[in-house]
Amino acid sequence: MLLAMPALWCLATYWCSTSNGRTIWRQVSYLTWGVLQERVMTRSYGATATTPGERFTDSQFLVLMNRVLALMVAGLYCVLCKQPRHGAPMYRYSFASLSNVLSSWCQYEALKFVSFPTQVLAKASKVIPVMLMGKLVSRRSYEHWEYLTAGLISIGVSMFLLSSGPEPRSSPATTLSGLILLAGYIAFDSFTSNWQDALFAYKMSSVQMMFGVNFFSCLFTVGSLLEQGALLEGTRFMGRHSEFAAHALLLSVCSACGQLFIFYTIGQFGAAIFTIIMTLRQAFAILLSCLLYGHTVTVVGGLGVAVVFAALLLRVYARGRLKQRGKKAVPIESPVQKV
């Protein structure tokens, strides 16, 4: 199945000349990215009948590959397409870059300690800590439907975590370390979004933001890998296992191109449609992961997943109604650098 992913990628590229094709391509990119992320971090390479193979363990190296490809894609896009005059101080990108690197590292590391469906649900429930921080720090008030949907998300996630069936031997069981890493991912990712929102005051384009953040992310990850002596080891692992090299490269391509299609979707269809598409993509990612990697989901767990995504879609519907009435809703998070 994994070997068919490049073929799907090429097929989706054919449809990029139409808006529907771009939407299909983005979904294929993200679903492929999710499948490969779990494959790279939780399965062995080079296994034979007599040897168990070895696993890739350095999440920073994967972060570096993702950021290098994203930097190249954003740079090429800026050269080929006219961009607004850049006025932001370059150093200001470094804060979002550091938090973005840390959130990506937490995301990859968490897969060593939690299953992929658990990670996806944790991402879907980010609205809960965001509301708590808004209430405590900003004294922000929320509508009744926001409390209702946050409560439904909490119930759905609890149903899934407390009723999970036995995992296959090759899949990680949910541990405290994994939950801490997921909490770190949510915290760093929230800071990245808020800092990027502030940077947009300089009237830059999303692709310029993508280039600036990834430029500093490359510097941070290269410096860290060199200091630890891990850059050469990651390169050697790629040399020993060509399958890993192909997976890591396709993972990075899907991550980088998926970001560009995020910007296109929001520009053409709006943030509400984007949120619906991303919510459905997360549901498909859980289903695909269960089919490919044998994760067991009980009936109660399945109902919990359904409750979470129903609550997310309810939030989108309620925001749309508020917008029609001219009332101010809580802004949707900036979608930049979500992969």
pLDDT of residue 27: 66
Residue 46 has pLDDT above 50, yes or no: yes
Whether 215 has a pLDDT exceeding 80, the answer reads yes
Cα separation, 225 vs 28, whole angstroms: 31
User: CA 149: distance to chain centroid?
Assistant: 22
**Locus of tokens 């692992």:** 237
250 lies in some domain: yes
User: Given its phi and psi angles, is residue 84 left (phi above 0), alpha (psi -120 to 50 degrees) or beta?
Assistant: beta
270 φ/ψ sector (left φ>0, alpha ψ -120 to 50, else beta)? left
What amino acid is encoded at 198 in this protein? A
Q: What is the DSSP letter of 125?
A: T
Q: By the 8 A CB rule, do 297 and 164 touch?
A: yes
Q: Which domain holds residue 65?
A: 57-323
Which residues does residue 55 pair with via DSSP β-bridges, in sequence order? 44
Range scoring the smallest mean pLDDT among 124-133, 256-265, 275-284, 329-338 = 329-338
Per-residue confidence (pLDDT) for residue 86, from 0 to 100: 86
Q: What is the pLDDT of residues 3-19, one digit of tens each?
A: 444 443 343 444 344 44
Residue with the larger pLDDT of the pair 144 and 102: 102
- Give residue 333's pLDDT: 47
Query: Is residue 178 in some structural domain?
Result: yes
Structure tokens at 130: 């965001």
Confidence of residue 334 (pLDDT cuts 50, 70, 90): very low
The structural domain count of the chain equals 1
| 183 or 272: which leads in pLDDT | 183
Alpha-carbon torsion angle 273, 290, 111, 230, nearest 10: -100
Q: Is residue 291 part of a domain?
A: yes
Structural domain contains residue 37: no
Non-local (6+) Cβ contacts of 263 within 8 A are: 206, 207, 335
Q: What gap in Å lies between CA 214 and CA 98, rounded to an integer?
A: 10
For CA atoms 198, 199, 204, 210, give the dihedral sign.
Answer: negative
Tell me the average pLDDT across 199-225: 90
Of the pLDDT bands very low, low, confident and very high (cuts 50, 70, 90), residue 37 is confident
- Under the banding of pLDDT at 50, 70 and 90, the label for residue 172 is low
pLDDT above 90: residue 194: no
Q: Nearest CA to 31 among 312, 286, 299, 314?
A: 286
**Residue 2, pLDDT above cutoff 50:** no
Residue 110 inside a domain? The answer is yes
pLDDT for the residue numbered 296: 75
The answer to whether 333 touches 195, Cβ cutoff 8 Å, is no
pLDDT band at 36 (very low <50, low <70, confident <90, very high): confident
Q: How far is CA 51 from CA 44, 54, 56, 239, in A?
A: 11, 9, 16, 18
Q: Ranked by mean pLDDT, which of 128-132, 166-170, 252-256 comes out on top?
A: 252-256
Whole-number average pLDDT of the chain:
78
One-letter amino acid at 6 equals P
**b/e per residue 216-250 (b: at least 16 CB within 10 A):** bbbebbeebbeeeebbeebeebbeebeebbbbbeb
Asked whether residue 24 is assigned to any structural domain, the reply reads no
Which tens digit of pLDDT belongs to each residue from 278-313? 666 777 777 777 777 777 778 888 888 888 888 878
pLDDT digits (tens, 9 = 90+) for 49-105: 888 889 998 989 999 999 999 999 999 989 998 888 888 899 999 998 999 899 989
**Residues composing the chain:** 339
Poorest-pLDDT segment among 194-208, 221-235, 237-251: 194-208
Q: Is residue 30 situated within a structural domain? A: no
Q: pLDDT category, 269, cuts 50, 70, 90?
A: low
Q: Is the pLDDT of residue 142 over 60?
A: yes
Can you give the pLDDT at residue 216? 95
Q: What is the pLDDT of residue 233?
A: 92
Residue 238 pLDDT: 92
Instruction: Output the pTM of the full model.
Output: 0.72
What is the C-alpha to C-alpha distance for residues 335 and 271, in angstroms, rounded to an integer? 9
Tell me what pLDDT residue 214 has: 93
CA distances 288 to 17, 52, 119, Å, are 27, 25, 14
Residue 337 lies in a domain: no
